[in-house]
Amino acid sequence: MPVTVPSALEAQIEELIARYPQKRSAAVMVLHALQDHFGCLAPETMEWAAAKLELQPINILELVTFYPMFRQAPVGRFHLKVCRTLSCALAGSHELHRHLCEKLGLDRHAHGPQTTPDGKFTVEFVECLAGCGTAPVLMCNDACHEGVTLAQAEALLAQCEGG
């Protein structure tokens, strides 16, 4: 099933491609734009991107499977990314992750992003979010939360539930 890319998005993607001397150089930017729109990068979306960039689909699949920020399956409405790199790990990010998973009924040992059955929350361990001085750090969608205590995490969940 071919993907339908809205003309506004296609125009945005064409503008991105035009910034680079070679079309393929825009691949990561184009994939971000597509993922922002569709929520994930399904096979049809990758094939569309490959055709747009005059590449083969395998070239796109290599990128999508290399970068953890690209995903091939959708995530929940609230995507909680908990940093697990050194500073955050020392400052309790693993407790934070476990707490979030327990609160949401998710398997904290499972690999990759874990999503609640209602599709509302996804919890995922990620690498450094560049807030080492204010560890532990998590991101809820595009918002960064620093020095997150367990109480603050619960408040964040409640806020999302209400929102």
Residues that bind another protein (CB under 8 A): 43, 55-59, 61-62, 65-66, 68
Buried b / exposed e across 93-130, counting CB within 10 Å, b at 16+? Answer: bbebbbbbbeebebeeeeeebbbeeeeebbbbbbeebe
Q: How far is the CB of 104 from another protein (least distance, A)?
A: 27
Identity of the residue, 96 or 124, whose beta carbon is nearer to another protein in the bound complex: 124
Identity of the residue, 43 or 92, whose beta carbon is nearer to another protein in the bound complex: 43
Identity of the residue, 39 or 57, whose beta carbon is nearer to another protein in the bound complex: 57
Q: How far is the CB of 102 from another protein (least distance, A)?
A: 27
**Are 66 and 56 contacting, i.e. CB atoms less than 8 angstroms apart?**
no
Identity of the residue, 50 or 157, whose beta carbon is nearer to another protein in the bound complex: 50
Q: Measure the CA–CA gap between 100 and 157, rounded to whole angstroms.
A: 8
Q: How far is the CB of 62 from another protein (least distance, A)?
A: 4
- Reference 93, options 78, 104, 103, 81; nearest CA is 81
